[in-house]
Structure 1
């Protein structure tokens, strides 16, 4: 139970962080920019006649896993014990209506070589007709087959399928981005990109931060139907943590990249002291390179 609570808390932190980034994005010395952002985001959402909301309902025990939509990782669990029982939105991985690809990779727990026979993993894909509705009613879109583990165990288990959705938006995302997985200088370019945002956060430069994350925030807010309000939240007193045991991981079929730690999380983390206690925040950022661009940019 401890690990279930831990994983849920960690994802709540990510969602709260996204909200914080959105508010920091709205914080500006330039009122015109603030109004322009709010207007573009809110007017887009207000024009939607309906707001279908897609969620995965995951239940697991004694396994680690990586769940992706269109090769964007949306939910991961990499621990030594425990499991999960939670619902998680996936709209941020859906760029437009039509067929989507769901990929699930299930692994043994840390320090184990096999998935044990008593392990468990199940997933349902559900649709909520309107994201702004308070009803708990769901339509089951897809239920994956049960993971069957023989008595000798499994080294891993993988399942991939297509599912079709309707959404009222069309996002550019990384559809037209450059393929960067085999780029010769990708490590150097990624390090430069991370140094840039680390410096901005440490200097509490809201205007520069706003520019770096604007595409991420616009697309995520539109896909989740989250309108921007007038509340302003300044940067907290935080310290960027050193990057430890980080590796480049590629997603989006070779068009997205980020530095990840051993838990599959973004290496960009900060420490905040709240009520005398240390709280670690994760900046869940993914970089891409738009066509005809010479620099990596944040897109998710």
Structure 2
């Protein structure tokens, strides 16, 4: 009898050990092996310089935002918003700037600024530039960039000959925001489906849609908090593959970067409570996300992980955009952005 009990005990311990080993067995994104390399690998860089606040979309996907006085120059690689060669759209919304606080703005916890201005101000510059360069084959960095699109907010009226009339400044002081739309031609070697053929989410009841998006966010957050890297990979794999394809990294480099996030997800991170936020459509109604509405997280993602490094407080923002592939009833991540920024006292719950 004792021998049977001992045998059962050993078997039970063995099964527990096997089950623990089976957890989180995925160590890499299996889709990364599909990344292709090309002779021509263009990169599109978006650069903006202004004290104004703004949101910028390429192909109706939010690519760059500023809603604070932290910086006047901002840039990002815009290539992942370009699914295939041809005509692309760019939209920018310019908002009043947030004046910098004159006193008490020293250190990591200061610089909270003054209340938002209600209207644009005359004489404030806004400069946008979209450039295209490409990786030099065989190494050696990137080629000299070429201008694809430039826009400077005009500060003065022009006369009948198209000459600037410096005696007639343009009055923006009654406008609470300004929207400009442009098109440009892009050439890329790949063709990605992305959100192009996805379901039209605007046809779904907005309250039901928001509830389901929040539920997806909660499940994604739980994967991190439970250290479930398998779930994380399943959530992110398709979007991560498409993102990497647009950057053209060597496969080993893509896998290494991906593994760092998998390792991060496996450690069990406690996120901030998810704020309800505002439901926002993009991708011509085929992509949806929930955006922050407070002064410190305006139009940012609501999945936020706070941490301290070298005595400074930071917040890592997971900005997750969802779609439903054609014929599917389930959400998938189609686009994401990671924002690492200072965390100020005013953000504390």
Provide TM-score, normalisation by structure 1: 0.81
Counterpart Cα distance in 2 of 1:282 and 1:258: 13
Partner of 2:282: 251
- Structure 2 residue ranges without an equivalent (≥5): 1-23, 99-115, 156-169, 336-349
CA gap of 1:180–1:146, structure 2 versus 1, over 3 A, is same
Counterpart Cα distance in 2 of 1:82 and 1:275: 20
Q: How far does residue 151 in structure 1 lie from its aligned partner after superposition?
A: 6.3
Q: Report whether the alignment pairs 1:204 with 2:227.
A: yes
Partner of 2:149: 142
Q: Which segment is superposed worse, 167-176 or 276-285?
A: 276-285
- What's the secondary structure of 2:224's corresponding residue? helix
Q: How far does residue 86 in structure 1 lie from its aligned partner after superposition?
A: 3.4
CA gap of 1:30–1:163, structure 2 versus 1, over 3 A, is same
Higher relative contact order (CA 8 A, sep 6+): 1
CA gap of 1:133–1:66, structure 2 versus 1, over 3 A, is farther
Higher-Rg structure is 2
Counterpart Cα distance in 2 of 1:223 and 1:135: 15
Structure 1 residues 188-267: aligned runs within 5 Å = 188-229=211-252, 231=256, 232-233=259-260, 234-235=263-264, 236=267, 238-244=269-275, 246-262=277-293, 263-267=298-302
**Contact 1:238–1:273 at 8 Å: present in 2 too?**
no
Counterpart Cα distance in 2 of 1:60 and 1:281: 24
Q: CA RMSD in A?
A: 2.3
Q: How far does residue 133 in structure 1 lie from its aligned partner after superposition?
A: 4.8
How many residue pairs match? The answer is 266
Q: After superposition, what is the alpha-carbon deviation per residue over 1:200-245, rounded to whole angstroms, capped at 9, x for unaligned?
A: 1111111111010111100110012134435443125532101236
Partner of 1:10: none
Q: How far does residue 115 in structure 1 lie from its aligned partner after superposition?
A: 0.6
2:326 pairs with one of 291, 295, 300: 291
Partner of 1:50: 40
**Contact 1:250–1:256 at 8 Å: present in 2 too?**
yes
CA gap of 1:83–1:292, structure 2 versus 1, over 3 A, is same
Structure 1 residues 88-103: aligned runs within 5 Å = 88-103=76-91
- Structure 1 residue ranges without an equivalent (≥5): 1-27
CA gap of 1:55–1:71, structure 2 versus 1, over 3 A, is same
Q: Report whether the alignment pairs 1:278 with 2:313.
A: yes
Provide TM-score, normalisation by structure 2: 0.70
